[in-house]
Structure 1
C-alpha cells in the first residue's frame, strides 16, 4: 500500500516459518515431522502468452499447494503486479494453519498472477483467467477433491465464474465440477454471505477479543465494543465489511487508510459517506468531515485509537513504525501485515495482536460451506426451512391457546421464521469464530510460557496437522 514502503529484502515465507519455529518450542513433535509441516509440498511456477492487439505478452503465474495432510487444498488467487513466488508460498502456508485453527478440513494452497488488473480490459482479464485455469487443469492443480481456488486481492466473483466455466468445459459430465472453486456468484451456485465473510469474521474476532474482562483490564480498556475507537487500513472488501459490522456492534471508526492517503476524526467517521465520496472523487482525501488527512497513508496508522485493523497487504507494520503505533490491540485483517520483529515489540509493550490466520479465517470458513453446498447439490435451509416455520407456528398456537396471550403478526413472523441460507451461513461463521478464539486463548492461558495469541494459534495448528499425518500413517 502506498505510503508504507515494501522492504526489498522482505521474505514473507521465512517470516511464517519463524512463527512456526517459535510455536514448535511448545510442542513435542518430531523435528522431521515439523519440517514436513513447514515445507511447501508442490510449487507450480509457469508462464503463458496472451495476445494484446498485434503483439504478445508473457504472463507469469503460480499455484502452490502447501500441505496435503487434508485434501483438497484451498486458497485464493491473487492478481497483483507485486505478487511473487515467496509471497504465494507464504500465503499457502498460512492457509494450512488457518484451516487447522478453525477446523476446516482443507490443506493450504494459494495462487498468483503477476498483473496489474487496471492495465487490462475485461476481455483480456477473462483470457488470462481462463488460460491460467487451463494450465492448472493440465497439471492436475485444480478440482473439487484436489485444489479449490477462491478470490483474493485483485479477484472476485467474476473471475471465479470464469474459472468454474472453464473447468466445466474441460471436464464434461463431472457431477461436482462447480466445487472446483468458491467465491462464485449466487447464480452459479455460490453461497449467500461469502463476499462479506472475511470482513464479518474480522468483526467477530474483534468482538471476542474485547469481551474478555481480564485481558481488557490489563490494557486499561472496558469490555465490549461500545465506545471503542478503531482505525481500519484498507477500504476493500475485507476492510469495508469489517468496519461496517463493527459499527453495528457499537464501535466507532475514527480512521480510514487507503493507498492514496488517510483520514481521521476522533469523534467518528461515516463509512458509507466516505465510500460515496471516494466513488465520486476517486479518493478518500477531501472528505468534509475528516478533521485530519494525510497524503502518506502510513501516518494514518499512527493516530490515537484503541484498535488498529490492517486489512490491506502484508508488511505494513514493521520495526520502522511499530513504536509510533498508539493502538492497544491489533486485529490482523490482512495476511502478514505485522512483521515478526514488530509483533514482538508490540507484545513486549503489553499490546494484544489477534493473528491473521485466525482473524481473517471467515473467508475460508464460508468457502467451506460453499464447497459443501456444491457437493451436496442443495442450498442450505431448502429442506427444512418451511418445516421449521410450521413447527414454530404450532408451538406459538399452543402457547397462545394455553395462556390467552396474543402476539401481533410481526411478532409471530419473527418467532416462527425458519432460517434462510444467509442466516445459517452467518450462524456457522459466528460459531466458528467464537469457538476458535476461545480455543486459541485457552491454549495460551493454560501454558504460561506461550507468550501471545499468534504462538498459541500456531501451536494449535501444529498439533492438529501433526495428528492428521500420524493418523493417516504418513508419519510413524
Structure 2
C-alpha cells in the first residue's frame, strides 16, 4: 500500500524509525539490523471452491525480528494484503511488543482475499491450508511464531488454525499456545475480544490524566466531558467508543464506510449499532447530522479523534483541516508522515498506534502464558481471596459495630476472576508504557512528537536485547 506521497507503508515505518534513531546512541549496524525484516514467506496455493472452480490464493507471513522468540502478530484477510503491508505491520509489532514489555519478536500474516466472497467452508479450507504451509516452513509454533486475529479474522479462524496444528503435532503438550485469540473453550482468555479497544482507552486516559500534557493542549484533566469522534465501528472502534462513553466522555461523531454522523449533544454507541443492524447504515440515526463522505466527521471540532479503521485516512491532503486536539491511533498506520508533520505544527498531540493499540497483543501474551501454564487465571486464588476478605470484613464490622451495605459487601468480598486479572494487567501495561514514552519525550526536548519518543523507547529496548544476547559485542 502506497501513501499519497508515493512511498510504501513499510517505507513510512522506516522513515519514522530513522527520525527517532538520531536520538539514540546505538551503532548504525545495530539500527540497520533492527529495521530489516528477518524472514519473509510468500506463498501460493490452490483451493477448490464449492462450485467446482479452482482458485489460487496469495498469502504471506513475515517475521520481522528474532531478538525475542516466539514472534507474534495477527493474520488478516483482505484484498489489500500485499508483501509491503505485511512487512510494515510486522515491524510495528516488534516495536509495539518492545514498548509494552511483551517478550515477543514482531510478525504478521495476511491472505489476499475478501472473506465476504467465500463461504464458511471455503474459508476453513483456506485457513487450514495456510496453516499447513506455515507448519511446513516452521513459521508457526508456541515457541516459534504465534499468530492471532486481525482485520477480517476472529475466534473461528484461530480455532481452525489450532485444530490443524494439533492434528499435525500429536502429543505436543503446549500446542494450544501456537495461536491466540481463540474461543475461551479452546484455551482462549476472557477479555481478549475487547482488549485492543480497552487498551486504547487506558492509554488515552493516562494521557488525559497528565497535567503537563493537558496544560499544553488547554484541556481539563481527565476523560469525563471530553468530546470524542471515532472512525470505524468494528471491534476496536466500537469497544473504544463504548469505554469512553462509560467513563463519561461525549461521543459526538461516528464514521463508517457508508458515511458519518454527528451530534454535539452526544451519540449512544449501542443505539447507533442497533440502528445500523436494522437499516444497514449509521446514517439517518435520530437526532444526528449526516455526512455522506465518511471522512468529513474527522474534520469537525472535538477534543479526541480516534481513527480505528484502515491506513492513511489522515494524510497530507486533509491533515490541515483536522481540528481535534488529540488523535489516538487505534488503527495501524492511520496517519502518513506528511500528516504527522502538519499536525505537529498545528500543536495537535498524536498518540501513536505502535503502542496505543497494543492491548490486543498484551492480552494475547496473557493467553499464551495461560496456555503454557495450563491453568485459568484466578482459579488458584479466587476463593482464598474471597474467604480472606470475608474474614477481614467480619472482624472490622465486629470491632466497629457497624455493617456495610450489601452492595459494598459484594464489592469488598469479590475475588478476582480471569477477566478482572486480564484487565488489571492490561491497565498496568498501558499506563506504564504511556509514562515511559512521555518521560522520554519530556527529558529530550529535541524529540518533536510522541511517535518519535515511542520509537526511541522501542529502539532502545530492542537494541539492548541484541546487545545482551552478545550478538553485537
Matches of 1:474 and 1:97 in 2, distance apart? 19
Q: 1:235 aligns with which of 221, 233, 236?
A: 233
1:88-103 matches, within 5 Å, as: 88-103=86-101
Name the structure 2 match of 1:76.
74
Matches of 2:414 and 2:325 in 1, distance apart? 41
- Where 2:286 maps in the other structure, the secondary structure is coil
1:419 offset after TM fit, Å?
0.3
Name the structure 1 match of 2:300.
303
Q: 1:265 aligns with which of 246, 263, 266?
A: 263
- Where 2:251 maps in the other structure, the secondary structure is strand
Name the structure 2 match of 1:394.
391
Matches of 2:456 and 2:6 in 1, distance apart? 28
The runs of 4+ residues in structure 1 deviating greater than 4 Å are 5-8
Deviates more, 1:93-102 or 1:202-211: 202-211
1:32-43 matches, within 5 Å, as: 32-43=29-40
Deviates more, 1:353-362 or 1:7-16: 7-16
| 1:97-119 Cα distance to aligned partner (Å, 9 max, x none) | 00000000000000000000110
Matches of 2:427 and 2:420 in 1, distance apart? 10
Name the structure 1 match of 2:273.
275
TM-score normalized with structure 2 length: 0.98
Q: Are 2:334 and 1:359 equivalent residues in the alignment?
A: no
Segments of 5+ residues of structure 1 without an aligned counterpart are: none
8 A contact 2:69–2:103 mirrored in 1: yes
- Where 1:63 maps in the other structure, the secondary structure is strand
1:7-406 matches, within 5 Å, as: 7=4, 9-52=6-49, 53-290=51-288, 292-406=289-403
Q: Are 2:444 and 1:447 equivalent residues in the alignment?
A: yes
1:132 offset after TM fit, Å?
0.5
Aligned-CA RMSD value: 1.3
Matches of 1:417 and 1:226 in 2, distance apart? 27
Matches of 1:356 and 1:398 in 2, distance apart? 48
Matches of 1:448 and 1:407 in 2, distance apart? 51
| 1:307-358 Cα distance to aligned partner (Å, 9 max, x none) | 1000001111000000111101100000110011111110111110000011
Matches of 1:399 and 1:85 in 2, distance apart? 63
Deviates more, 1:331-340 or 1:444-453: 444-453
Matches of 2:183 and 2:3 in 1, distance apart? 33
Deviates more, 1:65-74 or 1:267-276: 267-276
Matches of 2:7 and 2:293 in 1, distance apart? 21
| 1:409-446 Cα distance to aligned partner (Å, 9 max, x none) | 44322211110000000000001111110110001101
8 A contact 2:440–2:457 mirrored in 1: yes
1:54 offset after TM fit, Å?
2.0
Q: Are 2:469 and 1:472 equivalent residues in the alignment?
A: yes
For these two proteins, the number of residue pairs brought into alignment is 472
Segments of 5+ residues of structure 2 without an aligned counterpart are: none
1:8 offset after TM fit, Å?
9.0
- Where 2:299 maps in the other structure, the secondary structure is coil
1:447 offset after TM fit, Å?
1.0
Matches of 1:339 and 1:150 in 2, distance apart? 26
| 1:442-464 Cα distance to aligned partner (Å, 9 max, x none) | 01101111111111111111111
Deviates more, 1:31-40 or 1:445-454: 445-454
| 1:409–1:219 distance in 2 versus 1, CA, 3 Å | closer
1:407 offset after TM fit, Å?
2.5
Deviates more, 1:395-404 or 1:84-93: 395-404
TM-score normalized with structure 1 length: 0.97
1:6 offset after TM fit, Å?
6.9
Matches of 1:10 and 1:22 in 2, distance apart? 16
8 A contact 2:47–2:55 mirrored in 1: yes
Matches of 1:338 and 1:44 in 2, distance apart? 27
